[in-house]
A = this chain, B = another copy of it.
Amino acid sequence: MLAASALDERNKALESVKRVLLEHRDEIFDANATDVEENRDRLSSSILHRLYFDQDKLDSVVAGIDDIVRLPDPIGRILEKRELDSNFVLERRSVPIGVIGMIFESRPDALVQIASLCLKSGNGIILKGGREATNSNRALVKAIREATRNTSFGENWILQIESHEDVDFILTLDDYIDLLIPRGSNAFVRHVMENTRIPVLGHADGLCSVYVDAFADLSLAVDVVTDSKVQYPAACNAAETLLVHEAVAGKFLPMVARSLIDNGVELLGDEKTRKIIDVAPATDRDFDTEFLSLKMAIKVVSSLDEAIAHINEHGSGHTDAIVTNNVGVRDRFFAHVDSADVFSNCSTRFADGYRFGLGAEVGISTSKIHARGPVGLAGLTSSKWLLYGNGETVREYSKGGGKSFHHKELI
């Protein structure tokens, strides 16, 4: 059984997956070429780009497997340890969640990444890919199954749903799947979240804001805003909205506009902004839009609390940053902005499992249940309470029973 297997065996299986993927590369590339050929006329260039699985993508997933092998065991960690009474010890240990459901559009590389993370963490996985990647996914799953066939747990830890049922079928499998990980467009992830009773690890939108406070270092603020917007605008942690305190707007807006426009950003502004810099008007809808491109909506606010209220109302609870040198203002922003990641004086683009030092990234969650923000392998674990007794009964610990708990923490 995978869930109870030793780290060494799981790591060997990962090495084996890597080896077999490299051995079968031609078969996998051929299958992918068929998918690309069959869908070339039907799909947008950005989806086609994500559908490609070439040597570069293979190198990248293989490097990813190496990283995952090197990570410490997420399973069997002692999370709590407490002596309830003399020699009566309680432990809480990390265990696999059970079965992860993965649903994805295009991106065959995501299949390998999530499967590898599940293998490392002792979880079974049920996959359902998009129809456009049928041949690629089939070839990849075949290789992964072959690579793990001779382990003690066998190949059935990974199953692919290949029926002609559409994606919605897997959303109904709440008796079999403990956690869903969707990968695809925002609309796709939102559809998953809104149509299943299975818990979902992920986020639909990444509508991130940077607030430049009255106490900001304005030159530093230009760097932070520019990086948050332009370093990789298609990412979920790129900023879409810039909020500026009115006390510094007159000086700051021309500075930041120059930097952003130099980097090709199209600016939209509210009325107060447009009194200071000459940009197109921002509609209400612009402040609710994740542009995912070189476009940014700017609003001048008259207080910290207006900025916080704007973020909590229009943001997606993903990542929001403040630029300020006032510690009290920062702490109020940190306490009141209800997002997974709240930063001061640095780019929103740092919201990422690797940058956070989590080793591997399972996803970024905007849910407040189970895991929040960038999620590492720990997000694929649950826990189990183990109690080591010597014949203890509750009667002895009840009124008149003569025994009592001392609850001594051991870690």
Q: Which residues of A contact B (CB under 8 A)?
A: 1, 3-4, 82, 84, 88, 90, 92, 97-98, 178-179, 196-197, 199, 217, 220, 223-224, 226-227, 231-232, 334-336, 338-347, 349-351, 355-357, 368-370, 372-374, 382-395, 397-398, 405, 407
A122 to chain B, nearest CB (A): 10
User: Which of B349, B369, B383, B385 is A356 in contact with, Cβ under 8 Å?
Assistant: B385
Cross-chain contact B374 with A385 (CB below 8 angstroms)? yes
CB pair A369 B369 closer than 8 Å = yes
Within 8 Å by CB of A382, from B90, B345, B368, B385, lies: B368
Please name all residues of chain B whose beta carbon is closer than 8 Å to the beta carbon of A227 when the two chains form the complex.
393-395
Residues in B with CB closer than 8 Å to A351 are 385
With the chains together, A223 CA to B368 CA distance in Å?
43
- A388 surroundings in chain B (CB, below 8 A): 344-345
Give the distance to chain B from A71, nearest Cβ to Cβ, in Å: 13
Residues of B within 8 Å of A223, CB to CB, are 391, 393
Please give me the 7 A-B residue pairs with the lowest Cβ-Cβ distance, nearest first. Answer: A346-B389, A227-B393, A357-B407, A368-B382, A349-B394, A345-B389, A220-B391
Q: Is the CB of A357 within 8 A of B389?
A: no
Contact A347 B392 (CB under 8 A): yes
Contact B4 A336 (CB under 8 A): yes
Which residue from chain B places its CB closest to the CB of A393 in the assembled complex? Answer: B227
Contact B345 A369 (CB under 8 A): no
Closest chain B residue, CB of each to CB of A174: B194
CB atoms of B98 and A345 under 8 A apart: no
Verify A82–B347 contact, CB threshold 8 A: no
- Can you pick out 6 interface pairs between chain A and chain B where the beta carbons lie within 8 Å of each other? A1-B336, A4-B335, A90-B357, A197-B197, A199-B369, A344-B389
Given contacts A98-B338, A357-B84, A368-B178, contact A391 B345 (CB under 8 A): yes
Bound-state Cα–Cα, A395 to B341, Å:
19
In the complex, given contacts A82-B357, A340-B384, A350-B387, what are 13 additional A-B residue pairs having Cβ atoms less than 8 angstroms apart?
A82-B356, A84-B350, A97-B369, A224-B393, A334-B384, A334-B386, A344-B386, A345-B388, A346-B387, A346-B389, A346-B391, A350-B392, A369-B369
Closest CB in chain B relative to A270 CB, distance in Å: 26
Which residues of chain B have C-beta atoms less than 8 A from A390's C-beta? Answer: 220, 345-346
Complex: how many Å from CA A196 to CA B394? Answer: 36
Please state if B369 and A382 are interface contacts (CB–CB under 8 Å).
yes
A226 to chain B: closest residue by CB? B393
